[in-house]
Amino acid sequence: MWGCGRLKSISIKLESNYKQLLPYIRPQWANIIKGLTGIIGYVLATLTLMYLVQQLSAPFGSGNVVAIAQLAGILGLVFLIRGFFQSVQDIYMAKAALRVAFNLRKRVYAHLQRLNLSYFETAKAGDLSYRVTEDVDRVGEAVHKLLHDFIPCALQLIVIPIYMVYLSWQLTLATLIIVPVMLVLIAWFGERLQKYARRSQNQVSDLSAILTEIFAGIRIVQAFAAEAYEIARFSRESERAMQAKYLTERLKAIQIPIIGFLQALSFLLLLFFAAWQISAGNLTVGKFFSYLSGAALLIDPVGHITVNYNLFKEAEASVDRVFELLAIQPAVEEKLNAIALPVVNGKVEYRRVTFGYKPGEPVINNISLLAYPGEVIALVGSSGAGKTTFVNLLPRFYDPQVGEILIDDVNIRDVTLNSLRKQIGIVPQETTMFSGTIAQNIAFGQETFDMVAVESAAKIANAHEFICNLPDGYYTIVGERGVNLSGGQRQRIAIARAVLLNPRILILDEATSALDSESEALVQEALERVMEGRTVFVIAHRLSTVRKCDRILVLEKGQIVESGTHDELLSLQRRYAGFYAQQFQ
């Protein structure tokens, strides 16, 4: 299928709800049940408080100090028990919510690892980082509020009004007249908060993407004296992010006094109807105090429900953004019955392979090639001829639309990606260094490693000497992206990394093109040592690096137009001879 290459950012509209989180919440049932036990105990203690307040009216009326002191002591004990149950609820609900966020973040990160190069070539790194960190945190916070606040508050809003109806259904009916208006307003504000929150999060995500881009390219920014330009661009994006956040906060600021006024109005109606009921003899003062305590106890959960509903609507945008990411399917996937590729000899065959990033625009067009074990093949041609794309098909960074690729007569689509890629070493033009020590970078991808093997690989790569001269040797911290190392040093570490993998197939993607002559000589010597006995594909602009190759392929518009040794191609006096003349004559 066409279009599995450079895809544009994918935006998938999903239904906005929290049902998508259920698979992550269900495994926490044990902690949730413990938390619910705390919630039930808390609510029962709250009802007990209401009952005890009713019992206080008689001793207060008669001035019985002993009875008042006894009830006060019982009230204090109930408050203590209520606090204990609240602690149980807080501990286990927080544990469940944090575990949900942890598992979701792991799932999102693991999913990103499965996505192919085609996705990352256009995705914004800052946006992805924001989704994995900030958006998942918002989701975790929403789950925490749901378990810790929303459920107990909802339970109180059910149980306490039932007891209030028991005390006086007339007062309850009068008090609840305003509730439908409050619910409609809360829902109305919530829907708009969700829209503003999504806009705000997208703006902050764009801002994060700009920061990632600029910090990675700060050398170019300063080299072109573009600081003022970048400051202005950052200011514009910051202004948009601020305005989006301001709309959210302004809406909250309008909502809170409106809901507060309705709550106050409801309380005033309660006082009015209570006075009428007491004067009519339908309500005792003791029941009214108990009823009033219930109304007071409802203020807190009503406030929490309002605030939490706003948070849920804001976090709903984060839920969608996280699950949009999880909905993106890898362009290259393993078969369900994929087998592990056994240790190979290094025979590689391309059979009538065609591949393009866009429909109707093939980058590799009907190429067939047979590389024998131990053969060194060079790929040359002008920029855009398809050299890098050709070798990127071998480790299945992309899959061809037509044709097949085989290693030792096994179709690479039939084997697991892990077993395939572990037998293909790659030394790229731009070496990527990861935070950590030099030893960890050489043994990248291995939790534990043999230092003897690491040193042996470094010696083969001509890296051992300069590593030993560093302050901490192999335990020297390389710095972010290897900033503490020169280009030649980074390249030799990349070679050592490939050597340690001990692959039967090696890809050298212009591995010396960005180096000075001294570094190039050291790297070239190391490469010649590494290439012995392996099947090697060499991409090079400098033709001096491919003279000794067993075969040279000249690519043009995705096709092999010439094939042969250095001397054979020079004698043809065609494309290769023309490239050679441009560089050396």
d(CA 85, CA 339): 54
Residues 442, 404 share a domain:
no
| Angle (deg, nearest 10), helices 451-460 and 517-531 | 120
Q: Average pLDDT, whole number, for the chain? A: 79
pLDDT digits (tens, 9 = 90+) for 339-388: 999 999 999 999 999 998 887 888 999 999 999 999 999 998 888 888 88
The number of CA neighbours under 13 Å toward the Cβ of 239 is 6
Distance (Å, rounded) from C-alpha 504 to C-alpha 155?
Answer: 65
Residue 296: inside a domain, yes or no?
yes
Q: What mean pLDDT comes out for the span 142-147?
A: 82
441 and 579 inside one domain: no
- Contact yes or no for 297/131 (Cβ under 8 A): no
Question: Does residue 483 fall inside a structural domain?
Answer: yes
453, 474, 502 - which closes a domain: 502
Which sign, positive or negative, has the C-alpha torsion 145, 149, 155, 157? negative
- Specify if 213 maps to a domain: no
Distances (CA, A) of 228 to 173, 210, 240: 65, 15, 19
How many structural domains is the chain composed of?
3
Instruction: Give the C-alpha separation, 331 to 182, whole Å.
Output: 49
Residue 128 domain flag:
yes
CA distance 151 to 147: 6
pLDDT, tens digit, for every residue of 401-452? 999 999 999 999 999 988 998 889 888 777 777 777 889 888 887 778 889 9
Residue 5 pLDDT exceeds 60: no
Q: Which residues are registered as beta bridge partners of 367?
A: 353
Q: Are 301 and 156 in contact (CB under 8 A)?
A: yes
* pLDDT tens-digit series, residues 543-569: 666 788 889 999 988 899 999 988 888
Share above pLDDT 70 across residues of the chain, in percent, rounded to a whole number: 79
Q: Within a domain: residue 486?
A: yes
> In this structure, which amino acid lies at residue 362?
P
Which pLDDT value is given to residue 18? Answer: 75
Q: Give the pLDDT of residue 578.
A: 84
Judge if 362 and 309 occupy the same domain. no
Gap between the Cα atoms of 58 and 486, Å rounded: 87
Q: Domain containing 508 — which CATH number?
A: 3.40.50.300
Asked if 260 and 369 sit in the same domain, the reply is no
Query: Tokens in use for 259?
Result: 């809901």
Q: Average of pLDDT values for 43-62?
A: 74
Position of tokens 């305590």? 293
Question: Is residue 490 assigned to a domain?
Answer: yes
Strand order from edge to edge, sheet including 402-407: 364-371, 348-355, 402-407, 410-411
- Assess if residue 242 is contained within a domain: no
Residue pLDDT, tens place only, 247-274: 777 777 777 677 767 767 777 777 777 6
Q: In which domain, by residue range, is 509 found?
A: 344-423+504-585
CA neighbor of 540 nearest in space, from 400, 387, 318, 409: 387
Q: What is the model's pLDDT at position 183?
A: 67
SS3 content of the chain, % helix, strand, coil (to 5): 65, 10, 25
Residue 370 host element (H or E): strand 364-371
Asked if residue 75 and residue 155 are part of one domain, the reply reads: yes
